[in-house]
Amino acid sequence: MTDYWTSVLLDTERYHGNPILAHLQHSEIKREHFDLWLGLWRETAEEFCAPPAAAEFVRKAEDIGNSLKLNLYEKPNFRQSEYDPYLSSRLFTTQPDDQPGVAKPDINPAPASEIHPRIYSYVFGAYAWMLFSLWMALRSDGGAVFMIAISSFFLAMYAGVPYLLSALGRRYSGANAPKRNDFGTFLDKDISTFTGTITGREALIQITIIPILLALGMSAIALIISHARA
């Protein structure tokens, strides 16, 4: 508990558990117990802490209590207006796949690290298109082509190294490798991020919108340069 609350209030990052799983291990905990706990917490904080500190303790406790109630007793794919990072994706990753005697929620949002690789290929393609547009517009300039070649090399390294590491991981993990969902399933899946829960479709838009707009802008610039040189 000390590790948890110092992490919540002081950002010590000492807590590495999963509050959802911890509560699921005790089936006797009911929804009404959270209201009783919050009342006792408020009385204790006001008795032992200065008013500003007590108010912060109570605010955090109410946010966490509401989040726990939503996760434990209502639909798990909810949308929170204020999302507590200590109930977010990095806590879901510690939950074991199979633990006897512990019920598991029907749906847990996937951590943001499980973004479908096709999204990254879209981003890579957008930046590759930017370089291609530049090459088409400036291919008669030897110095510009040389700089584009260097940029292309770094782009290939930037995208290629993670791809090779992922491929090696899948090769050597064998049967223990997690099954990858198809892209359509990913788009409808909930993704848990530091600031809240979003769908895979929303993640796709947020990640690819800037590279795609930059690629379109670079294409327009390349067309203008080509037209001016013609």
Predicted pLDDT of residue 209 = 93
Predicted pLDDT of residue 165 = 75
| Residue 111 or 5, more confident | 5
- What is the spatial distance between Cα 215 and Cα 137, in angstroms, rounded to a whole number? 14
pLDDT tens digits, one per residue of 48-99: 989 888 898 888 888 888 888 877 777 544 444 333 444 543 333 334 444 4
Predicted pLDDT of residue 176 = 47
Predicted pLDDT of residue 159 = 78
Domains of the chain: 2-101 (1.10.490), 112-229 (no CATH)
| Residue 183 or 178, more confident | 183
Q: Mean pLDDT of all residues in the chain? A: 76
Q: How many residues does the chain have?
A: 230
- What is the spatial distance between Cα 219 and Cα 129, in angstroms, rounded to a whole number? 8
Predicted pLDDT of residue 120 = 84
pLDDT tens digits, one per residue of 15-42: 777 777 777 778 788 888 888 888 999 9
Q: What integer is the mean pLDDT of 99-112?
A: 45
Residue with tokens 């770094």: 154
Alpha-carbon distances of 195 from 84, 89, 121, 143, 191, rounded to whole Å: 8, 10, 24, 44, 11
pLDDT tens digits, one per residue of 122-178: 988 999 999 899 888 888 888 888 998 998 888 888 877 777 777 776 676 554 444
Closest by CA to 212, choosing from 116, 123, 117, 121, is: 123
Predicted pLDDT of residue 179 = 52
Predicted pLDDT of residue 173 = 58
| Residue 172 or 117, more confident | 117
Question: Does 181 score more than 90 pLDDT?
Answer: no
Question: Does 208 score more than 70 pLDDT?
Answer: yes
- 122 CB neighbour count, 10 Å cutoff: 15
Cβ atoms of 90 and 12 closer than 8 Å: no
Predicted pLDDT of residue 97 = 44
Predicted pLDDT of residue 40 = 92
